[in-house]
C-alpha cells in the first residue's frame, strides 16, 4: 500500500533563505513521485515529478527535488525563497504499473517572512 508522509505541516523561512520541504513515502516498489503547489483559492499545480532516470528533478519556479531510494525520500528544495513561494505544497505518489490514483500527503504550508 502507498502512503506519503510530509514532515511539518507548517514551515516558515525568511525571504532569500533555503526552502526544504520533506516528503517520505512507503511503497513496495519505487513509485512515481510528484510535488504539487496550491496557491490560495486555486487548484493544485504540478511543480515537478520523478518517473525514471536522473534522480534530481528540476521543476518550475526554481524548485527541485531529489529521489533517494535508500531513504525513501523525495524532499523539495529551493535555494532562495521568494515571497511568491508562499503556498501549500503537497507530495504525492502513484504506483508504477498500477492504478492511476495519486496518494497525497497532508501538505506543508510554506510561509515566507520578508
The reply to whether 43 sits near other proteins by the rule CB under 8 A is yes
Q: Are strands 19-21 and 73-78 parallel, antiparallel or unpaired?
A: antiparallel
**Contact of 49 with 36, CB cutoff 8 Å:** no
Among 1, 28, 42, 114, binds other proteins (CB under 8 A): 42
The reply to whether 68 sits near other proteins by the rule CB under 8 A is no
Q: What are residue 68's phi and psi, to 5 degrees?
A: -120, 105
Nearest-approach distance from CB 15 to other proteins, in angstroms:
26
With a CB cutoff of 8 Å and minimum separation 6, the contacts of 15 are: 81, 82, 83, 112, 113, 114
The reply to whether 41 sits near other proteins by the rule CB under 8 A is yes
Nearest-approach distance from CB 80 to other proteins, in angstroms:
25
Residue whose C-alpha cell is 533517494 = 68
Residue placing its CB nearer to other proteins in the complex, 45 or 61: 45
The reply to whether 58 sits near other proteins by the rule CB under 8 A is no
Contact pattern for other proteins over residues 90 through 109, marking x by CB under 8 A: x-x-xxx-xxxxxxxxxx--
d(CA 57, CA 74): 10
Q: Give the interface with other proteins as residue ranges (CB under 8 A).
A: 32, 34, 36, 41-46, 49, 51, 90, 92, 94-96, 98-107
Amino acid at each position: 500500500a502507498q502512503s506519503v508522509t510530509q514532515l511539518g505541516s507548517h514551515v516558515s523561512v525568511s525571504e532569500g533563505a533555503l526552502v526544504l520541504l520533506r516528503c517520505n513515502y512507503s511503497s513496495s516498489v519505487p513509485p512515481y513521485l510528484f510535488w504539487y503547489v496550491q496557491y490560495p483559492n486555486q487548484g493544485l499545480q504540478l511543480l515537478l515529478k520523478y518517473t525514471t532516470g536522473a534522480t534530481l528533478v528540476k521543476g518550475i519556479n526554481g524548485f527541485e527535488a531529489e529521489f533517494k531510494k535508500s531513504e525513501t525520500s523525495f524532499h523539495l528544495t529551493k535555494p532562495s525563497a521568494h515571497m511568491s513561494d508562499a503556498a501549500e505544497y503537497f507530495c504525492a505518489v502513484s504506483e508504477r504499473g498500477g492504478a492511476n490514483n495519486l496518494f497525497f500527503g497532508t501538505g506543508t504550508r510554506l510561509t515566507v517572512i520578508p
